[in-house]
């Protein structure tokens, strides 16, 4: 018991003694290379290109799902077709919201980086 209290006290005193020195040392150092505006713009444009590719994949998937709905309706499975159509409609709604957000982000990137939006 006495040994535990002694060890805890020593650790506390050590942390209090060396803690401010460690914080001061961490504050004194500056990062070696700050991210420049051009690299941020390049990253943003690359990210927007990736987002546009994913949007195209989602649109392709919606087209395939709509074809599946038509096939189900032809086979007389209207309940399943209605359920799938509800999912497609929800996906279209979400895609519309994402596209509006992406267009706003493209405009902001274009304004800050001086490039034309790629719509």
Residue 82 forms part of a structural domain: yes
Residue 20 forms part of a structural domain: no
- Residue 83: the pLDDT is 94
The total of structural domains in the chain comes to: 1
Nearest to 61 by CA among 103, 94, 28: 94
Distance CA 61, CA 99 (A): 16
**Cβ-contact 106, 118 below 8 angstroms:** yes
Mean pLDDT estimate for the chain: 79
DSSP state of 34: P
Residue 90 forms part of a structural domain: yes
**Cβ-contact 55, 102 below 8 angstroms:** yes
Residue 25 forms part of a structural domain: no
Could you list the residue range(s) of the whole structural domain that residue 43 is in?
35-119
pLDDT of residue 100 exceeding 70, the answer is yes
Model pLDDT for residues 26-68, shown as the tens digit of each residue:
565 655 444 677 788 888 888 888 998 999 999 999 999 999 9
């Amino acid at each position: 018991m006495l040994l535990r209290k002694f060890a805890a006290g020593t650790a506390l005193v050590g942390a209090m003694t060396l803690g401010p020195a460690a914080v001061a040392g961490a504050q004194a150092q500056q990062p070696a290379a700050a991210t420049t505006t051009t690299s941020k713009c390049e990253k943003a444009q690359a990210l927007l290109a990736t987002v546009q590719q994913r949007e195209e994949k989602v649109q392709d998937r919606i087209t395939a799902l709509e074809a599946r709905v038509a096939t189900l309706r032809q086979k007389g499975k209207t309940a399943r077709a209605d359920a799938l159509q509800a999912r497609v409609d929800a996906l279209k709604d979400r895609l519309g919201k994402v596209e509006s957000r992406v267009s706003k982000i493209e405009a902001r990137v274009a304004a800050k980086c001086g490039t034309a939006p790629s719509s």
